[in-house]
Structure 1
Amino acid sequence: MSQSKINFKIDKKLKKELDKICEEIGIPLNVAFTIFAKKLARERKIPFEVDTDPFYSKKNLKRLKKSIKQMENKVDI
């Protein structure tokens, strides 16, 4: 099987964390990425759920703004 090389940049702290995790489970980092790539190619989707932090949802931000207004309008006695 011929192979291709993929180069990309990643945050140093994140890379260090990934290296440590991969070492703990006994696989090199490139094998972890290969597993990810194979699963992505086979299933044609990212093999985990991708979502945003619910804290920043429109509904929650609206509620937070309302709470802030209530707090700002509260008069201390």
Structure 2
Amino acid sequence: MAQATITARVDAKDKMEFDAFCSNVGLNTSTAINMFVKAVIRENRIPFEIAQNPDPFYSEINMTHVRKAVQELRTGKGTAHELIEVEDE
């Protein structure tokens, strides 16, 4: 099978840590990258979850607070206010 080269730029510290990890698990960097490529081809997807930093508004603790506040409003406790629009400065 013909070989091809993939060139990618990564942070120097990340490369050093990745190389060290690969060495610790008995792989070289090229083998680890080839394993990744094969997994992508086999699974037809990135073989791990890719998540963005979640919006803190939707954190479980905040959503619990919002649900409680909505329930209080529905039962007549609390005061509903109109949204006040503030113009950008």
TM-score by length of 1: 0.70
The alpha-carbon deviation at position 53 of structure 1 amounts to: 2.3
C-alpha RMSD over aligned residues? 1.7
| Runs of 5+ unmatched residues, structure 2 | 63-89
In 2: Cα distance, 1:52 partner to 1:6 partner: 26
In 2: Cα distance, 1:58 partner to 1:17 partner: 30
Residue 21 of structure 1: aligned partner? 21
| Runs of 5+ unmatched residues, structure 1 | 64-77
Task: Give the aligned length.
Answer: 60
Misfit runs of 4+, over 6 Å: none
Q: 1:8-59 deviations in whole A, cap 9, x for unaligned? A: 11100000000000010010011111000000011110000000223xx162
| SS of match in other structure, 2:23 | helix
Q: Larger % of helix: which?
A: 1
Instruction: Give the structure with higher Rg (CA).
Output: 2
Residue 57 of structure 2: aligned partner? 59
TM-score by length of 2: 0.61
Residue 38 of structure 1: aligned partner? 38
Q: Which has the higher contact order (CA 8 A, sep 6+)?
A: 1
